[in-house]
A = this chain, B = another copy of it.
């Protein structure tokens, strides 16, 4: 990075907030992907500078400067991404939003929270505890994740069955375009329930992985708190029976907040790592159903129906947790599965199929495991058809068959009407697989959209966002 540019950045944000220290630049050049899946994730390069604006106008000035001098900008949240989604591959301005961490307003008339991009999920949840009857129902995972980046990544996670993914929570966005202009979508307050003026830029920015704009402020829907909650664990003798139960429940009008599948051996081991005990000891795998209803009566009516359907599918036991402490314990153990096993894994494709095809996908994974003489453990957001399938290391190394196994998993997923990524996004890690899912013309259009926003391809350019002729 030329000293002159560093000086100009200092003029924009103040000397204290520009950092060229090699070690810290290195730290800001990689994300969770690199630590957990270090064997396959791309390596970051040096020569970058970290800059930490405190307001949207500064983000805009930085972006304008970058456009003038042709330097890539990598917007950065908390670094919790899992597909190398925000990593420089050439000397870049790493734009960390961390100082833009204020909650602007809770609007209890329109049921909308307006928040700066870098407010973490954990802080958002904590803040809302003081706001009486309102809550934000999604819980996409790591509570360190920042809301702006959660929108940029269209995060999903465990609580998408009833309320959908991040996309479904957004009423409006403030963003800085690659060319530096500030835009506000969803009306000037970002609070519209209906808006049909022009092409929808809000939904284009959601899930765009920071290639179309830097999201600086989000307006998210809030919901009245359900009055009664409970968590059920249904233990099945084999996982296929668990997956068969899920669509049957939903069809009967039982729409829990979350329907998770976990492997019994993994969840027990995770619990034990945490010094806890998993309350459902039997079977091969569990469905975890997080219920939230208007009343205790409503819940019990649903619980009876759940018991009936799961029994028909051969459930061994159903455990019920009603106290907040018990429920928290279950969620905490569930949340720690990934940390508990990630030292052993090379990659965890978040392949997703229509809910009805989960059973077939599990069958296909079993066949692949046999073919490659390995195990393929899974965690599933079963209500969403969304699987995390773990490709394991062999003797601490990437196995020879890694590429072949990964491609086979994607191939089978696509045959079943699926997508190569339901949650983690494309990043650098899955860029080469995009062409398995999309035609050349579709990729050309996506590239055309990128060019409409970012004529110089400077915002989070990756290796080249979409890899083919410009």
- Complex interface residues of chain A between 369 and 408 (CB less than 8 A to chain B): 381, 383-386
Nearest residue in B to A185 (C-beta to C-beta)?
B442
Contact check, B197 vs A200: say whether CB atoms are below 8 A apart: no
- Asked whether any CB of chain B lies closer than 8 Å to the CB of A316, the reply is no
- Asked whether any CB of chain B lies closer than 8 Å to the CB of A165, the reply is yes
- Asked whether any CB of chain B lies closer than 8 Å to the CB of A356, the reply is yes
Contact check, A448 vs B445: say whether CB atoms are below 8 A apart: no
- Complex interface residues of chain A between 289 and 338 (CB less than 8 A to chain B): 294-295, 297-298, 301
Contact check, B204 vs A418: say whether CB atoms are below 8 A apart: no
Interface size on A, residues (CB 8 A): 93
Contact check, A196 vs B419: say whether CB atoms are below 8 A apart: yes
Q: How far is the CB of A407 from chain B (nearest CB, A)?
A: 15
Contact check, B133 vs A192: say whether CB atoms are below 8 A apart: no
- Asked whether any CB of chain B lies closer than 8 Å to the CB of A423, the reply is yes
Contact check, A419 vs B195: say whether CB atoms are below 8 A apart: yes
Contact check, A187 vs B356: say whether CB atoms are below 8 A apart: no
Of A109, A384, A421, A442, the most chain B CB neighbours within 10 A belong to: A109
- Asked whether any CB of chain B lies closer than 8 Å to the CB of A50, the reply is no
- Contact of A204 (CB < 8 Å), options: B199, B250, B417: B199
A448 touching B448 in the complex, CB below 8 Å, given contacts A165-B194, A197-B434, A414-B188: yes
Contact check, A441 vs B179: say whether CB atoms are below 8 A apart: yes
Chain A window 194-212, contacts with chain B (Cβ cutoff 8 Å), 1 for yes, 0 for no: 1111111101101110001
A417 touching B354 in the complex, CB below 8 Å, given contacts A181-B439, A193-B160, A298-B298: no
Contact check, A192 vs B109: say whether CB atoms are below 8 A apart: no
- Asked whether any CB of chain B lies closer than 8 Å to the CB of A79, the reply is no
Chain A residues with CB under 8 Å of chain B are 107-112, 133-134, 153-154, 156, 160, 164-165, 167-168, 177, 179, 181, 183, 187-201, 203-204, 206-208, 212, 224-225, 247, 250-253, 255, 294-295, 297-298, 301, 352-356, 381, 383-386, 414, 417-426, 430, 434, 437-439, 441-453
Contact check, B355 vs A109: say whether CB atoms are below 8 A apart: yes
Residues of B within 8 A of A352 (CB): 192-195
Q: How far is the CB of A269 from chain B (nearest CB, A)?
A: 27
Contact check, A192 vs B353: say whether CB atoms are below 8 A apart: yes
Residues of B within 8 A of A200 (CB): 167, 203-204, 206-207
Supply 10 further A-B pairs (C-beta < 8 A) apart from A133-B253, A196-B425, A199-B212.
Answer: A134-B251, A164-B193, A177-B441, A187-B354, A191-B355, A193-B422, A194-B384, A195-B422, A196-B422, A448-B449
A-B contact pairs, 30 of them (CB 8 A): A109-B355, A110-B355, A111-B250, A111-B251, A134-B251, A154-B196, A168-B168, A187-B354, A187-B414, A187-B417, A187-B418, A192-B354, A193-B384, A194-B352, A194-B422, A195-B421, A196-B419, A196-B425, A197-B419, A197-B437, A198-B426, A199-B446, A200-B207, A201-B445, A224-B251, A253-B294, A295-B298, A297-B297, A445-B453, A451-B452
Nearest residue in B to A222 (C-beta to C-beta)?
B251
- Contact of A424 (CB < 8 Å), options: B177, B196, B414, B441: B196
Residues of B within 8 A of A195 (CB): 352, 419, 421-422
Q: How far is the CB of A135 from chain B (nearest CB, A)?
A: 11
Q: How far is the CA of A119 from the CA of B372 in the complex (A)?
A: 47
Q: How far is the CA of A426 from the CA of B199 in the complex (A)?
A: 10
Q: How far is the CB of A18 from chain B (nearest CB, A)?
A: 27
Residues of B within 8 A of A190 (CB): 417
Residues of B within 8 A of A181 (CB): 439, 441
A419 touching B201 in the complex, CB below 8 Å, given contacts A179-B441, A353-B192: no
Contact check, A153 vs B452: say whether CB atoms are below 8 A apart: no
Residues of B within 8 A of A206 (CB): 200, 203
Residues of B within 8 A of A451 (CB): 448, 452
Q: How far is the CB of A254 from chain B (nearest CB, A)?
A: 8
Residues of B within 8 A of A297 (CB): 297
Nearest residue in B to A134 (C-beta to C-beta)?
B251
Residues of B within 8 A of A301 (CB): 294-295
Residues of B within 8 A of A420 (CB): 197
Q: How far is the CB of A191 from chain B (nearest CB, A)?
A: 4
Contact check, A353 vs B187: say whether CB atoms are below 8 A apart: yes
Contact check, B419 vs A386: say whether CB atoms are below 8 A apart: no
Contact check, B251 vs A386: say whether CB atoms are below 8 A apart: no
Of A111, A196, A255, A383, the most chain B CB neighbours within 10 A belong to: A196
Q: How far is the CA of A166 from the CA of B270 in the complex (A)?
A: 42
